[in-house]
Amino acid sequence: MDRVQAQSRIELLSKQLNEHNYRYYVLDNPAISDYEFDQLLKELESLEKQFPDLASEDSPTRRVGGQITKKFNTVRHKYPMLSLGNTYSKEELQDFDSRIRKSINQDFDYVCELKFDGIAIGLTYRNGRLVQAVTRGDGVQGDEVTGNAKTIRSIPLRIYADDLPEEFEIRAEIIMPHKSFIRLNEEKQENNEPLFANPRNAASGSLKLQDSSLVAKRNLDCYVYGIMGDNLPFQSHFENLEKAKSWGFKVADLTRKCSDIDDVMKFIEKVEKQRSSLPYDIDGIVVKVNEYRQQEQLGFTSKFPRWAISYKYKAEQGVTRLLDVAYQVGRTGAVTPVAILEPVLVAGTTVKRASLYNADKMDELDLHFNDTVHVEKGGEIIPKIVEVNTGLRQRDSKKITFATHCPECNTLLVRNEGEAIQYCPNSESCPPQIQGKIEHFISRRAMNIEGLGEGRIEVLIQNDLIKNMADLYDLKYDQLLGLEKVITDEITGKQKKISFREKTVNNILNAINSSRNVPFERVLYALGIRYLGETGAKKLARHFGSIDKISNSTFEELMAVPEIGERIAGSIMDYFKDEQNNKIVNRLIETGLIFKTETVSTEEPGNQPLEGKSFVVSGVFDGYSRNQIKELIEQKGGKNISSLSSKTDFLLAGDKMGPEKKKKAEELNIPIITEEDFNKMIE
């Protein structure tokens, strides 16, 4: 395929992928399968690698992320992002309506929108392209998170429409849907990391991650609630929202234009009934005057617009009795207390258990058996005890103290200095720790051994077929065929039968065999070393190159690796001091797993000529592919960024670099260097 054909094909693929992305993430009406979508995306990625200068900033391949941002630039909002006045009472809504009627003395409409519990953001488009994404911040200025925003699939990177203003700003809310939140917290619990309290915190934390590829995995969503700019299609809010929807933006279906305050009240009541069944969090309804001319007439107070108000729903709570406290043991031995409650209906679901987090939280609540407690769903998801009614406490009620011994193996618990979590140190024979480690080992982001989920690991342990992760590679067909067990969900009480039939057994053994091809960085992560996540494992694998070098490294050598701090370095040292861990690693090596990598950073800590320097790479180079030159920058201590800013140190320019980049670099006084200049720098 020549260059002209490639350009035509890239443009067609980009348009098709953007359309399918819109149908899937905005309309919820996909036209092709996930497999077909992935094949189109792979073809586009291949063409962009072959012709890198044809890859645009708004290519669908940008959705997967990869940009690393150490510090987010502060950007002043062109239009201030104002707060809204809040009310919890319908009487105050009536007062709000009366004030407006006195002020403008003419007919008007209201627009009612969902008040999403997320993170406000401003998205700037020029000539149909997304050029900037800025968080609300203090309302006057916020953080630029453009690279991260591009990974959110309901945010259009490019808009194809005939009636677009040359420049406009979309005001929207970044949220984390319930499904994404639950999955994220399950992963964090599996990795023994602190859980997010609610989807809003999770969305906020995700949007400010330094690695945009991690943001892409968080499955954030974006709902539009306004448009700012000159020459907008309409002079009214609701009609412009409808226009934004036609351009490909996601606008909540539960958005209404109301003729008077009575209609507003009816809408608020309607949404409140549906609130518990929505797939995302809302905490109220925003009410706005529709016409811009009337908004300008009403004006602002020192803090809020006079033409808008937020009606907030009260958090739903349930009152019940605390029956007991149970303890769950994770794969790292962390012991988490869980309140056992008399069943109570909260926000549309029956709650029987609530997280108590740790011993400090239990002491803070001063829990006693049979206490009357107020239960609330944190972020409408995780049940938690928010209050204890001590006035109803029985006189002879006994205080609940944190367990001193492991509830599974009766080992004395330990608590590390400076940590809130207590641990069971019996990592070799505590049943839930063994099960948790193996489940982590087979998980999708580690060894990805499919077919062993849904309780099957528990069945293998109970049948004495596996005691650790290395035992998986000794499993035989005859051992597995015919195994079965009925398990009961401890919360719902529902029973499920797990069976090892012929097809299942073959799939499991094939998946175990295929896992021998998993790259070293994922094998290292799969070992389940405490505190070592995916990013840290990748850094270690690329820095040292083999498990032998990691296991024999000193504390100082580990600390020299980027993103490996004292806690992780100490944990790695402790892991390889354990004789049992070393035996398991040696057995895994013997089974043929990959414990070394080709991409080793050969630079010594003191030989980093590009240390602290940031580069934007653009164009085509004689001696390197674009990926090779980016890897070399990182090996020599520098960092790659995707867009120019005042913080950029150099623009590395190859042939066929776009004129806009050159122009912007000159405006920002960023040095433009050639491939020859770069070679001199690293020499």
Tens of pLDDT, residue by residue over 251-279, are 999 999 999 999 999 999 999 888 877 88
Same domain, 133 and 228: yes
Please identify, among 491, 517, 543, the residue that sits at the C-terminal boundary of a domain: 517
What mean pLDDT value characterizes the chain? Answer: 86
Same domain, 349 and 293: no
Range scoring the smallest mean pLDDT among 187-196, 339-348, 442-451, 512-521: 187-196
Is residue 630 within 8 A of residue 640, CB to CB? The reply is: yes
Res. 369: pLDDT tops 80:
yes
Q: What is the model's pTM?
A: 0.53
Res. 422: pLDDT tops 50:
yes
Section 371-399 average pLDDT: 83
Number of domains in the chain: 6
Has residue 598 been placed in a domain? no
Beta bridge partner(s), residue 99: none
> Which parts of 34-133 fold into alpha helices (H)?
34-50, 90-104
Res 380: pLDDT: 46
Among the listed residues 78, 115, 352, 496, the single catalytic one is 115
Has residue 232 been placed in a domain? yes
Res. 505: pLDDT tops 90:
yes
Res. 294: pLDDT tops 90:
yes
Of 374-383, 515-524, 645-654, the range with the highest mean pLDDT is 515-524
pLDDT in tens, 146-183: 989 999 999 999 998 888 999 999 999 999 998 888 88
Is residue 114 within 8 A of residue 140, CB to CB? The reply is: no
Same domain, 352 and 418: yes
Least Cα distance to 385 among 314, 342, 322 occurs for 322
Same domain, 248 and 331: no
Range scoring the smallest mean pLDDT among 52-61, 124-133, 150-159, 355-364: 52-61
Residue 392 domain boundaries = 317-423
Has residue 602 been placed in a domain? no
Res 623: pLDDT: 75
Same domain, 220 and 79: yes
Please identify, among 286, 312, 338, the residue that sits at the C-terminal boundary of a domain: 312
Q: For residue 599, name the pLDDT band (cuts at 50, 70, 90).
A: low
Same domain, 545 and 506: no
Same domain, 57 and 84: no
Helix or strand (DSSP H, E) at 169: strand 167-175
Q: For residue 491, name the pLDDT band (cuts at 50, 70, 90).
A: very low
Res 239: pLDDT: 96
Has residue 595 been placed in a domain? no
Same domain, 395 and 524: no
Res 192: pLDDT: 61
Domain of residue 18, CATH code: 1.10.287.610
Range scoring the smallest mean pLDDT among 93-107, 217-231, 476-490: 476-490
- Considering all CA atoms of the chain, what is the largest pairwise distance in Å, rounded to the nearest integer? 86
Domain of residue 565, CATH code: 1.10.150.20
Domain of residue 647, CATH code: 3.40.50.10190
Q: For residue 68, name the pLDDT band (cuts at 50, 70, 90).
A: low
Same domain, 580 and 446: no
Same domain, 204 and 278: yes
Has residue 603 been placed in a domain? no
Domain of residue 196, CATH code: 3.30.470.30
Res. 220: pLDDT tops 90:
yes
Same domain, 500 and 534: no
User: Known catalytic residue: 115?
Assistant: yes
Section 551-576 average pLDDT: 90
Same domain, 474 and 406: no
For Cα atoms 412, 415, 416, give the angle at the middle one, nearest 5 degrees.
135
Of 243-252, 373-382, 411-420, 531-540, the range with the highest mean pLDDT is 243-252
Of 191-205, 336-350, 456-470, 553-567, the range with the highest mean pLDDT is 456-470
Distance in angstroms (rounded) separating the CA atoms of residues 47 and 63: 16
For 475-485, b/e burial (b = at least 16 CB within 10 A) is beeeebeebee
Has residue 605 been placed in a domain? no
Please identify, among 312, 340, 357, the residue that sits at the C-terminal boundary of a domain: 312
Domain of residue 416, CATH code: 2.40.50.140
Q: For residue 84, name the pLDDT band (cuts at 50, 70, 90).
A: confident
Is residue 399 within 8 A of residue 367, CB to CB? The reply is: yes
- For the record, the structure tokens of 317 come out as 């709570």
Is residue 184 within 8 A of residue 217, CB to CB? The reply is: no
Has residue 453 been placed in a domain? yes
Of 235-244, 444-453, 536-545, the range with the highest mean pLDDT is 235-244
Could you give the percent of the chain with pLDDT greater than 70?
A: 93
Distance in angstroms (rounded) separating the CA atoms of residues 80 and 370: 51
Has residue 26 been placed in a domain? yes
Res. 489: pLDDT tops 70:
no
pLDDT in tens, 338-364: 999 988 877 666 788 888 888 898 999
* Cβ neighbours for 476, distance < 8 A, ≥ 6 positions apart: none
